[in-house]
Structure 1
Amino acid sequence: MTTHKAVATVAIRGKLALIDAPTVAPTGRQVCVHVEWTASTPLDLHQNDGGLLVTHPQILGDGIAGTVVETGPDVKNLAVGDKVFGFAFKENMQKAYQEYATVSETSLGKLPSEFSLQEAITLPNNTVTVFHAVTKDLGLPLEWPRLPSHTNPHADTPILIWGGASSCGQYALQILHAWGYTNLLATASPRHHEYLRSLGARHTFDYRDVDVASKIQRAVDNNTRTGPAVPFVLDCIASQQGSLTQIAGVAQKGTRVAALLPVIVRDATDDVAPEYAMNVQAAVDWAEGVEARGVRTHFYEDDVFFREHLQSSVVPELLATGIVKPNKQRIVEGATLLERAQAAMDLLRRKDVSGERLVWRVSDLEL
């Protein structure tokens, strides 16, 4: 079996390492992708610095953009030479921080011709997260094909996106707006407010404002509406003190909260180890009758339609038709695969990123 270079986490809070990984020949509906670009995520930091869901050594990364170089015998929709992008995470052979990844064709979509791989790589993990969280954890509909907006029973229902400038927050605003949800609220630093309104936010709030909870409630006050002022909250940050405590000041009986796991009890820094929790309901003191759930995107394939179509057809069409636009990118430079991966990890740890994705080239080989 041939091998290729991969970047792995080898110890909690340790430096990343370059390892030799087996290049796995595809079987069934699998394809082998020459990985050209990836985008770092907070999960990469949680796994390296917190050991979350890790067995060392573990290759990192779940966002793949590159070129198909080999297909299994049962592949239906992809061919050698196709430019693809997608979200894969189950085994080392599927991970993104390596020169070649072998994944199911259902985890990939063809790149629309007018976009580059480094633009498209900002989509897959967080668009999947939005569809899964909104439908599974908030219980709101996202039909495909889309129905006319006037059929949406929650068209004017307030929905709060905490962390609107995050990658997931930006896609949540665009997707919900496109599906006819018009009463979207978002928190972010003020410098992002105008952009978030262009993505569909009706109201924007500074998450650092000590009075943010009451301002959110006043913005959606409607005497004709029954139930909680804000019935649905998507927390894209899931920080115990940085988001959940403030959301608890907004949530009332009947509010449903979906927070992207893990709950960050303590952030990682250069000198301090992180601390995580997995129970959103127990993370803070919620009002009676608030349902708080943790979003587990890795289970999105339990939905049969999502497993077969979300990445292969829905996400590429969202991009090609302009329903969603790629996140802004910061290209992380470095002389080698390992240097680029480590530089991106250090930027994540230092929180030196806002409103953009850390995107970097994986393989130096051009096909």
Structure 2
Amino acid sequence: MPIPTSHTAIATTSLRTLSAITVPTPIPSATEILIHVLWTASTPLDLHQNDSGLLVKYPHILGDGIAGTVVSIGENVQRVEVGDTVFGFSWLKQEGKAHQEFAVVEEWMVGVIPEGFSMQQAVTLPNNFVTVFHTLTADLGFETPWPKPENFVPQNEQDLILVWGGASSVGQYAIQILRYYGYGKIIAVASARHHEILRSYGATYTLDYNDTDIEAQIQTLGEVKFVMDCIGSATGSVLPISKVVKAGAKVAILLPVIVRDSGEDVQPVYGMDVENVDGVSWEEGVEVRGVRTHFYHHNEFFKEHLQPDIMPAMLKEGIVEPNKQKIIEGSTLLERAEKAMGALRRKEARGERLVWRVADE
């Protein structure tokens, strides 16, 4: 296809304001690829950045989940070819962000979509798939070898692992990946309507966060050794988790901590210090960490293999399955982006991803 010299991108240009801006279409360097971005999936980070200006310098192009077609490659690119359909988690620079018609990314930031999967399905994986692997290894210290050795048994096979927000995209992938590696005692906390599918993914126990005695229910199952908080709500998840974990437990909380949710007429409040959340007291000896997925590539093995090799293989082999999708419709790119942002504020996606078309093929 002809590659234009400029294209349209969706940026947050001031608090709670999205705009369609025109940006230059970059030329890939030796190790980069240029993607015609066709589909993306919205994330809570899009909402945090648009509604609070979190880590933003205006204008700031949004989106980090990409699915599209490779239209140009650098001279040293080895894994993909022009014409390949790829999916990936891209965040390093504005030219690589997902909510624009063309994005240039490093080759290691994408994988080729396996046959039999649509871009809409594939784009539900990258950011949260990467988040799971980074959290399990860097923050919780789990073993996730690839390829997995035959008869592999993890050291913490029988330790209780609490996944709070099991029906979230991160939670769903966490449960499936933990099951694959043989972690056998997973507590998934989610709304009751999601319990059946979470058990099919590998959850040993399913509990409803709406229950007033949720903390007591967790404690009856035994001592929780590891926690993955996929929600990061100060009162909704961090507080109850702090009441059930004891000295020696490891807790990983997805950042930012949500002190006050964004709403149609409500300004959000976020925090980045997981150890000092107002109203929350951690027992001495509990290790609490804030998850920083954007540093996952500091693990050299993950940088080279997590998105190019492991992610497509796990999808192809059925180790993980794509999240369900809620397709956002609209006549223009800006309209679709605005509708997706509104759906995030209203929490319309329950157990599914907000997926929408960026550019036409």
TM-score (norm 2): 0.97
1:164 & 1:71 partners in 2: Cα distance? 38
Deviation per CA, 1:220-273: give whole Å up to 9, x if none.
Answer: x3xxxxxxx001000000000010001011111111100000000110011111
Partner of 2:78: 76
2:319 & 2:182 partners in 1: Cα distance? 12
4+ residue segments displaced more than 2 Å: 147-151
* Pairing 1:123–2:119 present: no
Partner of 1:21: 23
Q: Helix, strand or coil: the match of 1:182?
A: coil
TM-score (norm 1): 0.96
Q: Helix, strand or coil: the match of 1:10?
A: strand
Unaligned runs of 5+ in 2: none
Question: Which residue of 329, 344, 361 corresponds with 2:325?
Answer: 329
Deviation per CA, 1:281-302: give whole Å up to 9, x if none.
Answer: 1112111111110000000000
2:324 & 2:159 partners in 1: Cα distance? 29
Question: Which residue of 184, 189, 200 corresponds with 2:186?
Answer: 184
Partner of 2:356: 360
Unaligned runs of 5+ in 1: 222-228
The aligned amino acid for 1:41 is T
The aligned amino acid for 1:236 is C
Question: Which residue of 248, 261, 272 corresponds with 2:242?
Answer: 248
* Pairing 1:266–2:260 present: yes
Partner of 1:162: 164
Question: Which residue of 314, 319, 322 corresponds with 2:310?
Answer: 314
Partner of 2:105: 103
Cα deviation for residue 159 of structure 1 reads 0.3
The aligned amino acid for 2:340 is A
Q: Helix, strand or coil: the match of 2:100?
A: coil
1:361 & 1:273 partners in 2: Cα distance? 28
The aligned amino acid for 2:87 is F
Cα deviation for residue 91 of structure 1 reads 1.0
Cα deviation for residue 150 of structure 1 reads 4.9
* Pairing 1:12–2:15 present: yes
Determine if contact 1:269/1:349 at 8 Å carries over to the other structure: yes
1:90 & 1:351 partners in 2: Cα distance? 27
Q: Helix, strand or coil: the match of 2:224?
A: coil
Partner of 2:196: 194
* Pairing 1:349–2:345 present: yes
The aligned amino acid for 2:299 is D
2:41 & 2:192 partners in 1: Cα distance? 25
User: Percent of pairs identical after alignment?
Assistant: 56
Deviation per CA, 1:102-130: give whole Å up to 9, x if none.
Answer: 00010000010111111000000001000
The aligned amino acid for 2:181 is W
Partner of 1:230: 224
Q: Helix, strand or coil: the match of 2:14?
A: coil
1:34 & 1:208 partners in 2: Cα distance? 43
Deviation per CA, 1:162-206: give whole Å up to 9, x if none.
Answer: 000000000000000000011011100000011100000000111
* Pairing 1:53–2:49 present: no
The aligned amino acid for 1:107 is M
Q: Helix, strand or coil: the match of 2:146?
A: coil
1:146 & 1:260 partners in 2: Cα distance? 26
2:56 & 2:26 partners in 1: Cα distance? 21
Partner of 1:217: 219
Determine if contact 2:153/2:181 at 8 Å carries over to the other structure: no
Cα deviation for residue 147 of structure 1 reads 2.6
Partner of 2:173: 171
* Pairing 1:287–2:290 present: no
The aligned amino acid for 2:212 is V
The aligned amino acid for 2:154 is N
2:263 & 2:284 partners in 1: Cα distance? 35
2:70 & 2:197 partners in 1: Cα distance? 35
Determine if contact 1:149/1:155 at 8 Å carries over to the other structure: no
Determine if contact 1:63/1:85 at 8 Å carries over to the other structure: yes
The aligned amino acid for 2:85 is K
Determine if contact 2:159/2:185 at 8 Å carries over to the other structure: yes
Cα deviation for residue 148 of structure 1 reads 3.8
The aligned amino acid for 1:99 is E
Determine if contact 1:259/1:294 at 8 Å carries over to the other structure: yes
